[in-house]
Amino acid sequence: MRAWRVHEFGPLDNLRLEDIPRPEPGPNDVVIRIRSIGLNSSELQIVRGMYENDGMDTPFKWDSHLPRVPGIEGAGEVAAVGSDVTSHKVGDRVTVSYWFCCGECDLCRSGIENMCSQAAHFDTIQFGRTADGAYAEYARVPAPYAVPIPDGLAFQDAAALTVAGGTAANMLFAHADIRADETVLVTGAASNIGVIGLQLAKMAGARRIVATAGSDEKLRKLEQLGADATINHTETPDFAERAIELNGGEGFDIVYDVPGGSTISPALHSVKPRGRIVLAGYMGGKTAEINLVRIIIFEARILGSASWTRPTLSWVLDLGARKRIRPVIDTVYDFEQLPEALGRLERREVFGKVIVNVD
């Protein structure tokens, strides 16, 4: 099969298109014929060797795991099943929920598998990180993490909704506990997590949604998608005062923060007393300087949100199939163009999702 592999961490030029053996399923695995790949910012870090997910300041230098096929998001059909698999059959349409959990720890048993005490460890199987991922014609995954795609949802739409949809739903419903008639500020709204979050907030009955993005063209698209007002955060990086003005002079019930880092301080100054700030990313920076007095006096809640659970992902895919939300696909590339597609993502030219289709 053909696959894009990294033999040495570094620039995107280090990705090589190679012919490698097609994976065979273990007893509890399925092999998926990948049809559509969704690209994610974390994959840029993986290729560079600078991804980290353990809260440490050490770079992701897993040289012992090279060469590696990156890619955490892929949709396709089951091509082979392991001897002990009864949940899937050849031809089933599935997408990969990449957070492979132990299923045995207290957190997994209590239904919050995304907090699994084993899944984040560097020495465990991580799809597209320590194990080969979606940048290939075929990928092997444990059968429970091949999540069915409902009828009416195309492969590329499922790929566009998997990571962003699961993340956005976890942020808004599991953590921010969004309710009808609340006001929401979405920062970094042109990202795929941003555009899906905006739609989910609208679906939940948000009374007013203000969104930020880095160009006027992206702001126009956000307004077409349902934002009531927008802010160019390139021109106004300290956007709190303007956001409150656009919200009728009041702070927001929820600030849905996508970039992290430099946006945390203005997010904190945009929230109302007892409002919630929910964040799931750190592409804007891993650290932030915040005003503790503001948090205390306003009794503001800052909520971290990590990935999703499989039931949440299934719900999001169903919303997509029923057209309650829609994937926002920026561009579609051929498999041979994958590094070029990653370059577009790296240059932040994207509104929504970049998809790579695999023929």
Q: Tell me the pLDDT tens digit for each residue of 28-57.
A: 999 999 999 999 998 998 898 876 554 444
Q: Which two tokens stand for residue 231?
A: 């802010």
**304-318 per-position pLDDT tens digit:** 999 899 999 999 999
pLDDT of residue 281: 83
pLDDT of residue 15 exceeding 70? yes
Q: 1-5, 82-86, 346-350: lowest mean pLDDT where?
A: 346-350
Strand partners, 136: 3
Percent share of the chain, pLDDT over 90: 79
**138-142 and 146-148 strand pairing:** unpaired
Q: Which two tokens stand for residue 276?
A: 């919630």
Tell me what the pLDDT averaged over the chain comes to. Answer: 93
Supply the pTM of this predicted model.
0.93
Residue type, 1: M
Neighbour count for residue 175 (Cβ, 10 Å): 18
Angle at 36 between CA 34 and CA 39, to 5 degrees: 115
pLDDT of residue 51: 64
pLDDT of residue 286: 79
**At a CB cut-off of 8 Å and minimum separation 6, what does 9 contact?**
47, 48, 49, 50, 61, 63, 66
pLDDT of residue 102 exceeding 90? no
- Give CA torsion, residues 204, 324, 167, 340, to 10 deg: -140
Q: Which two tokens stand for residue 131?
A: 């194990």
Whether omega for the bond prior to residue 67 falls within 30 degrees of 0, making it cis, is yes
For 324-341, what is the mean pLDDT? 98
**284-300 per-position pLDDT tens digit:** 777 888 889 999 999 99
**180-228 per-position pLDDT tens digit:** 999 999 999 999 999 999 999 999 999 999 999 999 999 999 999 999 9
Question: What CA–CA distances, in Å, run from 326 to 161, 280, 322?
Answer: 8, 21, 9
pLDDT of residue 254 exceeding 60? yes
Predicted confidence band of residue 58 (pLDDT cuts 50, 70, 90): very low
Sign of CA dihedral 299, 300, 306, 311: positive
Structural domains in the chain, CATH included, are: 2-148+328-357 (3.90.180.10), 167-304 (3.90.180.10)
For 82-87, what is the mean pLDDT? 98
For 120-147, what is the mean pLDDT? 88
Q: 103-117, 134-148, 295-309: lowest mean pLDDT where?
A: 103-117
pLDDT of residue 18: 98
